[in-house]
Every structure is written in C-alpha cells, then in structure tokens.
Structure 1
Amino acid sequence: MSTHEPLPSPAEAPAPARAGSGRIFSRPVMAWASWDWGSAAFNAVMTTFVFTVYLTSDAFGGEARASQVLGWGLAAAGLLIALLAPVIGQRSDSGGRRKLWLGVNSAIVAVLTALCFFVFPSPEMLILGVALIAAANIFFEFAGVNYNAMLTQVSTPATIGRVSGFGWAMGYVGGIVALVVVLVVFIEPIVPWPGGSSENGLNIRLVAVFSALWFAAFALPVMFTVPEVPRKAAAARVAFFASYGLLVRRVKAIYRQSPHTIYFLLASAVFRDGLAAVFTFGGILAAGTFGFSTSMVIVFAIAANVIAAIGAVLGGFLDDRIGPKRVIIGALVGLLVAGTAILVLGTGSYSFFGINWTADTTFWVFGLLLTLFVGPAQSSSRGYLARLAPVGDEGELFGLYATTGRAVSFLAPALFALCIGLFGSQLYGVIGILVVLLAGLLLLLPVRPPAQVTRAVVPEA
C-alpha cells in the first residue's frame, strides 16, 4: 500500500450525498443513466452523423470551406473547454451546486441545439451554425464534468464499475434509438409528412429541434432523483480568476500525496484519444477503404453501438471483480489485436479455418471487435478516476480529466493523417491509431490501480 497521507476521517471530508445502494436498476441509477441516454441525441445526431454533415455540405459554400470553418470553430471550443473545465468543476463542488450546474448547462445545450433550426442552407448561415454547434459543445462538456462527478453519488465502492458501464451502455443504445427515429421520421420518412421535406433543409432543421427535446426530456430524471452535494462548510467564496491559483495548489497537493492520480490522468488522456479515433475514423475507413455504401455505413454504425453497449456492461461487471486497470489493459490489448488484424487482412482475401476472409468480411468482424473493447475502456477509465478523486472534489478532478483529454486530442487525427501520407493508402491510417493506443497502454502499465493509491486530501481556499 502507498505510504502517502491517510484518508480523511468522516469529520474532515464528508462522503458525497448518495442517492441509493448503487444497484443497476435502482431508481437513482436509472435516472442518472437517463442523462447519458438523452445526451446521445447531441453526440450522435448533431455532432457526428447528421447536423455537422448538413453543415459541411455544398449548400454552405463548399465542402472544403465549410469543413475548415467547422474545424476551427470546434478547435476554439476545445481550447475553452480545456481552460475552463477544471475551474467549473471546482466551483460546483465547493458551492454545493453540482446538480444545479448540470441542469443549467444541459438546458443551455438544449436551447443552443434547438436554435440550429434557424440555420438555413445558405453560405451566409455557416458562421451561425458553427457558432451554435461550438457553443453547445462547450456547455455539453461542462455538463459532462458534473455528470461524471455524480458517479460516486449513485454507486458504492463495490458497484462503481458496473454503474459506470451501464451509463456508457445507455448512451450507446440511446444513440441507436435516436438515429433510427431521425432516419425513419425525418431523413427517409416511412410515413409521408410535411416535416420530412428536404426543401430548404427543413427536415434537418427539425432534427435539431427533435434532438433538443430528446436531450431535455431525458436529462430531467436526474434532476429530481439524485440529491445535491452539500456545500463545503469550510469553503470560502473565491473569485473566478483566483480559482486558478487554488486549482494549481490543489493539483500540487494531489501530486505530493497521490502522484499516481496525476499519472493516470496523463495516461488516460492518451489512450482516450485513441478510443475516440476508433469511432471518428471507423465510418471513414468503412466507406473509403472497404467500399461500404452510405446505408451500409449506417447499418455498421448501429451494429457498432450495440456491440459497444454490450462491451460496456460486461466490462463494468469485470471492473468490480478484477479492478479497472486490468479491464483497461485487457481492452487496449484487444483493440491492438483487432486493429492489427484489420491492417494485415484488409488488403485482400484469405482462407482461415475453412472461411474465406474477404476485405469487407474482415472489417465487419474485426471492426465490430474494436467497438467491443472501446466500451469497457471508456467506462473503466471513468470508474478508475472516480475511485481516486478526493472526497467532495470529484467535479474538479473530472474537469482535469476533460482538460487533459483535450490537450492531446490532436494525437490520433495527426498520426492517422501522417501515416496515410507516408504509406499512400487510407488503410494505413490505422497504424496511427494503433500507435496512440499502444502509447496509452505503455503509460498506464506503471500506474498503480486504485486499490493501491490513497486519495489525496486537497486544501480548501
């Protein structure tokens, strides 16, 4: 065991206000996971598969220019998130307003999403559309900081892994359901109705309204079920910019008392960028390298989300039995094996065990295997950090979690592009993703598991 300072006594650091026993199908856990389900309408529909595709179409002045403007807008949003997320989490922790700010930020995301209805297909509307999506991304990440910090309130030390996994699974499945609704009601309506018209982008603009309502509706249960964290009795009111000085002092205290907490933040930032790249570039590879049609890409995306949800649930149960570090290591090894198989077998046809492996068969099998391992790695990463967070300061640490992730979010995309340039084929972009995953694995190996790390006690203002 670590020789760092012991955990604070209950009098020094009261446990967070809990909402129940942490059983998967208890009312508090279901209400908490409902937010993940609802947030998929923003993640999957608005920022991944539908609205940003609309926003980068020729109607907005050309695909290249629109994509460039969107890229710069999201980059600016990422910078603001990296700068502000830890302080946002810190202030909601100390003020006893974690749930309040989850609700406020979620409401802002819903409003900004709904306002995308007014983004008509015209070059003059591009800046408005990008500004709305970028701003919504900022407040979505702020909401996510408070939401992740609530994990310790709806779980117990014995159930934190499976509860985290269940939340991730709800997000995956919610994305599937939302995408299916969008497809059959707005994009290719099975029953003709005025809202299914593509004239003047009406159907896509209505998708924005649908996404806003979906997110708002499913974000409500957590507001009525999970209790607010208590305000810290010893916490003094700190000016906003003074919060950064306090943040630095607290990070130094965490490093002195529990350095492996900081090591995990750094390691997870790297491998989480690789995990994000699996989904970011999966559809691109399916269409560009393996010749999938648009409809087949959507089918693959739905199947991938189903498999990822199953993986997240199974990984959550393993997390509580063998610990999050072992789950993450196993998942990263699985990702490296599956990714290597795509790289090696994706260039032709082979026969193994009496089965003819064509290129598209290889991608279906090993591409879905990749998504099976993504869920457990994401879920256990959140559970790992929740176990290390100083009691009562979970929001601040999850803010740092967001910041470190944003700080290295260029790695996988840059290496993906670099490897394509070096080897002259889109398929070899997989090498870049594998390098990032391997680097994250190597950084994680020397980090102690939560059971061997003492939680830090951070100074108050």
Structure 2
Amino acid sequence: MASTAPPAALDDSPAARRREQRGWYFYDWANSAFYTTIISVFLGPYLIPVAKTAACAKDFPELASETCMSQFDALVLRHPGLGYVDVLGVDIRPAAFFGLTLTVAVFLQIVFLPIVGALADHTGRKRELLGGFAYVGALATMGLYFVEGDRYMLGGLLFVVANLAYGSSVVVYDSFLPQISTPEERDGVSSRGWAIGYLGGGLLLLLNLGLFLQHDSLGLSEGMAVRISMMSAGLWWAIFTIVPLLRLRNRPVATHETTTLRSVGGSFRQLGRTLAELRRYPLTLLFLVAYLVYNDGVQTVIGNSAAFASEALKLDKTVQITAILMVQFVAFFGALLLGWLARRFGTKRTVLASLVLWTGIVVVAMFVGEGQALQFYLMAFAIAIVLGGTQALSRSLFSQVIPKGREAEYFSLLQISDKGSAFIGSLTVTIALQLTNSYRIAIVSMIIFFVVGFVLLALTNLPKAIRAAGNEVPSRI
C-alpha cells in the first residue's frame, strides 16, 4: 500500500459549488433517457416478439414468420411442448424472456453495487468511475439497435450490461451530492437534479414517440423506429454525460493502493467494515428500512399503472402513452414544488405529507370509472406531483445521515434496498390478484407500504441520526 500526501484543498466557495451542482444536474438529464425510453416504454414490448421470432424459426419452420407470429399463442396451445427459446440450456417462454432478463439484471445489481460503492470511496476516483460506467451503459444501449430478427440473446445481454452500468453510475453519481452541497443546500440540489432528469427523459421520449407514431409517413418499419429510438437513448446518455465529467471534481482520500487488484481487494475490506459499522448507526438503518418500505409502494404503483389502465379501466395504448408523457413533464414541476415545501416546512414533514397523498391516490384508484380517461389523467397528475419529490427528498435525507468518506458505499445500500425489495410489492400485487382477480384491490393493497413507511419515518429521530453520523444538522429537517 502506498500513502499519498493529500493534495491542496479544493475550492469550496459558493461559486465553485454551484458550478459543480450545475454539472451534476446534467447526469440526471443524461441517464433518465435509459429509464424512460428503454425500460419504461420500448424494450419489453420489442424484445418479446424478437424471442417469439426465434421460437417460430426453431419450432414452426414450415410457417411464414408473419403467420407464425400472428398465430403464436394458438400454436403453443395446440403444441404445449413447443414455442420455447433456449436461454443457457433452459427452455423459456418468449413472453417470460424480458421478465427473466430484468430479474437477472436486478440480481447482478444487488451483488455488484456495494462493490462499486466501496471502490469509489476507497480510491476517490469517482469522476473516472462515473464516466466509465456511463459510457459502458451508453454503448450497450446503442448496441440495442442491432437487436432484430431472432437476436433475443443479444438483446438480453446488452440490457443486462446497460442496466448494471446504469445502476453503478447512479451510485457514484448520488455519492457526489453531500460533497457538492452544504446541509442547507441539499434538498434544493437533490430536487433540482431529479426534476431535470424527468425533463430530459421526457423530452427524448416525446421525440421517440413522435418517430414511432409517424414511422409509416417517414418510410420506416415499426421495428426500425423502435431500434432508432433505443439507439438514441444511448447517444443521449453518452453526449450529455460530458457535462458532469467536465464539472465534477474528485475529493482526496488519505491513502489508496497503487494497483487495480489491490484497490479492489481494499474495497472489499472497506465494504466489510462499513457493513459491520452499520450497527453503530441504528437510526440510519431505521431510515433505510422506512425508505425500503414506502419506496417499494411507489415503485409498485408506477410499475403496475399501465396494467391498471388496461385491465381495470379498459383504456387504450394512446391514453397510457400520453399519461406517461404527462407524468414526465409534470414531475419536473412536482419535484421543484416539494423541494420548495421542504425548505419552508422541513424535509421530513414534506416526505410524510407526500406519503399521505400517495395513500389517498391508491384509495381513489378504487373509484376511477371504467373507460374514464379524464379521471385516469387526474390520478396520473397527482402521482406526478409527489413522485419526483418523494424520491429526491428521500435521497437528500439519506445523504444527511451517512458518515463522510462512505458516501458511495451507503448510497449503494440505498440502491440495492430499492432493487432488492421490489419483489415484495410485486408479490403483494400478485397475491391480491390471485385472491380477488381485481387490479383495483391489488393497487389499494399498496396502502400498507405507505402506512408502515410513514410510521417508520415518523419514528426516525433525524437530528440525532445526523449528529451520530458526524454531520451538521440543517436549520430545517
């Protein structure tokens, strides 16, 4: 191990911080394109037919591809032993392929994100790691352009790589927050970053949906329009990542190893110490559990909103797509609004109030009339108001209750608590559907997550948690 003398202190003047903050915001703008264009809208509906094409070519070669695709479900009913694709020697139904890919991607994040966080804190090379993960993810996303025909495995592999890189980059990105802002600035900086992310992701999605809906008039096939849209998300991610890489600065660490192998080994040791030391911060752990619970409710409501619109309300795709776009742009203002409320009334009170609103939203979902698009739009509008603010202010609160020098490691725990708990809400919805066959009741079942999360957060003594982590308590928390 080689010790290095600490370099001269960085300029931490308000002007220097603002310069970094403005650069930091742009990474939210850059990476949100991956989540909105790839995960939320295009990849799943595109990848499943690609897998079906492969199954058709393998099991029904006597049929034309178009004929097999149009009759696929009926063919599988008549031939239950056919209609599978091979995934590393295991037969998987095409309809389940994207879900399997998503599960593998989430599992790998749970395994690797803590290592990424430890490496970032241990070496202090956060800017380089942010750029490396961002460009691996962007290139993998651009590679989705080449997923066509029966290349379902290529699509699955590229998505797993891109999603792992996306999660890793977000851990490093979030860990800059307490370094580029004072405790008093934290809520505003986090809220602006989240808001700008919604705006960037929404703008590219608007352009891509315009391309998709007008593909015939532009002389493009539907598949080509989707491929161009997916490639554009990678290009957007790559281009706008340049801004934070130019503005953000690494902070010095006391010592670090001289080789990559030793750095990784040191990072594992540091991660072990951090997990063991978490017992010294019980209130930080309580906040993490509270966030795990209520954020699982948030993610489950969002993840099932399209199915709720189609199954419970019988609304068409046009309504669903326009609602998604509206949420993106309204959430920009919602995140800024909740940031302003936090400065006026306190961050914890604002998050608690947002959880009350989330509870009200899922209760109202029980009474939205079938075919009532306006009522669905109003519900989506209410979700958009609290969506970004709940998450942005939670990120800000968490940054206050973690010790200095361990930011990336603790933010990796925040990320994996998000990813790892996602199955709980999904399981709750699945059980509710199995017992009642009602998407309305399934959505209302999310009340328990918001109520329990509210209680746990209310019980968290945040000033005490902040002081225990060795941080300054802001005037309003």
Q: Give TM class, smaller chain.
A: 0.7 to 0.9
* 1:30 paired residue among 2, 7, 22: 22
Of 430, 436, 457, 1:417 maps to 430
Shift of 1:269: 1.4
2:393 equivalent in structure 1: 380
Asked if the contact 2:129/2:169 (under 8 Å) is kept, the reply is yes
> What does residue 233 of structure 1 align with?
254
* Matches of 1:282 and 1:275, distance apart in 2: 11
Task: Judge conservation of contact 2:122–2:267 (CA < 8 Å) in 1.
Answer: no
Measured after TM superposition, the shift of residue 397 of structure 1 is 0.7
Out of 216, 226, 229, the position equivalent to 1:207 is 229
Residue 189 (structure 1) shift: 4.5
Kindly name which structure, 1 or 2, has the bigger radius of gyration based on alpha carbons: 2
Paired position in structure 2 for 1:79 = 107
Which residue identity does 1:205 align to in structure 2?
Answer: R
Distance in 2 separating the partners of 1:155 and 1:213: 29
Structure 1 vs Structure 2 CA RMSD: 2.7
Partner of 1:430: 443
> Is the 8 Å Cα contact of residues 271 and 441 (structure 1) preserved in structure 2?
yes
Q: Does 1:159 align with 2:152?
A: no
Matched, 1:117 2:145: yes
User: Which of residues 32, 36, 59 in structure 2 aligns to 1:40?
Assistant: 32
User: 1:145 aligned to 2:158?
Assistant: no
Q: TM-score by structure 2 length?
A: 0.83
CA distance in 1, matches of 2:320, 2:425: 21
- Residue 292 of structure 1 aligns to a residue whose secondary structure is coil
1:210 to partner: Cα distance: 1.2
Task: Give the corresponding residue for 2:161.
Answer: 135
Distance 1:93 1:243, change over 3 A: closer
CA offset digits 1:23-65 (Å, max 9, x no partner): 99x4432321111112121101011101222112354646992
**Corresponding position: 1:332 with 2:355:** yes
* Alignment deviations for residues 402-441 of structure 1 (CA, whole Å, 9 cap, x no partner): 1222221101111112112212212221123222222222
Deviation digits for residues 385-414 of structure 1, max 9, x if unmatched? 111221122111101111222221101111
Instruction: Please give the alpha-carbon distance, in whole angstroms, between the structure 1 residues aligned to 2:339 and 2:53.
Output: 44
User: Is 2:404 aligned against 1:391?
Assistant: yes
2:29 and 2:199 in contact (8 A); partners too: yes
Q: How does 1:14-413 map to 2 (within 5 A)?
A: 21=14, 26-57=18-49, 58-59=52-53, 61=55, 65-122=93-150, 125-189=151-215, 192-194=217-219, 196-198=220-222, 201-230=223-252, 232-235=253-256, 238=262, 240=264, 243-256=267-280, 258-343=281-366, 345-346=367-368, 359-413=372-426
Corresponding letter in the other structure for 1:93 = D
Contact 2:191 2:336 in 1 (8 A): yes
Residue pair 2:118, 2:270 contacting (<8 A) in 1 also: no
Give, as a single letter, the amino acid of the residue that structure 2 aligns with 1:120.
Answer: E
Structure 2 distance, partners of 1:445, 1:15, is: 42
User: 1: distance between equivalents of 2:324 and 2:362?
Assistant: 17
Task: Answer yes or no: is the 8 Å Cα contact 1:304–1:371 preserved in 2.
Answer: yes
Question: Structure 2: how far apart are the matches of 1:68 and 1:160?
Answer: 41
Distance 1:181 1:430 in 2: 31
In structure 1, C-alpha distance between the alignment counterparts of 2:465 and 2:8, rounded to whole Å = 20
Q: What SS does the aligned partner of 1:120 have? A: coil
**Partners in 2 of 1:219 and 1:19 — Cα distance?**
23
Structure 1 residues 61-70 or 35-44, which shifts more? Answer: 61-70
SS at match of 1:228: coil
Question: 1-side partners of 2:9 and 2:29: how far apart?
Answer: 24
- Is the contact between residue 45 and residue 179 of structure 1 (CA under 8 Å) also seen in structure 2? yes
SS at match of 1:215: helix
Compared with structure 1, are the counterparts of its residues 67 and 19 closer, same or farther at alpha carbon in structure 2 (3 Å cutoff)? farther
For residues 143-186 of structure 1, the C-alpha deviation after alignment (integer angstroms, 9 at most, x for no partner) is 00011111123322111101111111111111211111112234
Q: Check whether the contact 1:342–1:362 (CA below 8 A) recurs between aligned residues.
A: no
2:88 alignment counterpart: none
Q: Contact 2:133/2:168 (CA < 8 Å) preserved in 1?
A: yes
CA–CA distance in 2 between the matches of 1:139 and 1:454? 33
Query: Runs of 5+ in structure 2 lacking a partner?
Result: 1-5, 56-71, 74-91, 472-477
Residue 204 to residue 359, structure 1, CA distance change in 2 (3 Å): closer
Deviates more, 1:138-147 or 1:323-332: 323-332
Size of the alignment, in residue pairs?
427
Partner residue in 1 for 2:63: none
Aligned to 1:10: none
Rounded to whole Å, the distance in 2 between the matches of 1:117 and 1:262 is: 42
Amino acid across the alignment from 1:420: L
Change in Cα spacing, 1:152 to 1:335, as seen in structure 2 (3 Å) is same
Measured after TM superposition, the shift of residue 382 of structure 1 is: 0.5
Q: Kindly indicate whether the alpha-carbon contact (under 8 Å) linking 1:99 and 1:223 is maintained by their aligned counterparts in 2.
A: yes
1:227: Cα distance to partner?
1.0
User: What is the distance in 2 between the residues matched to 1:14 and 1:261?
Assistant: 31
Residues 330-359 of structure 1: per-residue CA shift (max 9 Å, x gap): 11111001211121x2257xxxxxxxxx84
Q: Which residue identity does 1:224 align to in structure 2?
A: L
Q: Is the 8 A contact 2:187 2:393 kept in 1?
A: yes
Do the aligned residues in 1 keep the contact of 2:42 with 2:230 (CA within 8 Å)? Answer: no
* Aligned partner letter, 1:326: R
List per-residue Cα deviations over 1:130-153 (Å, max 9, x = no partner): 111111111100000011111123
**Residue identity matched to 2:403:** P
Distance 1:408 1:371, change over 3 A: same
TM-score by length of structure 1 reads: 0.85
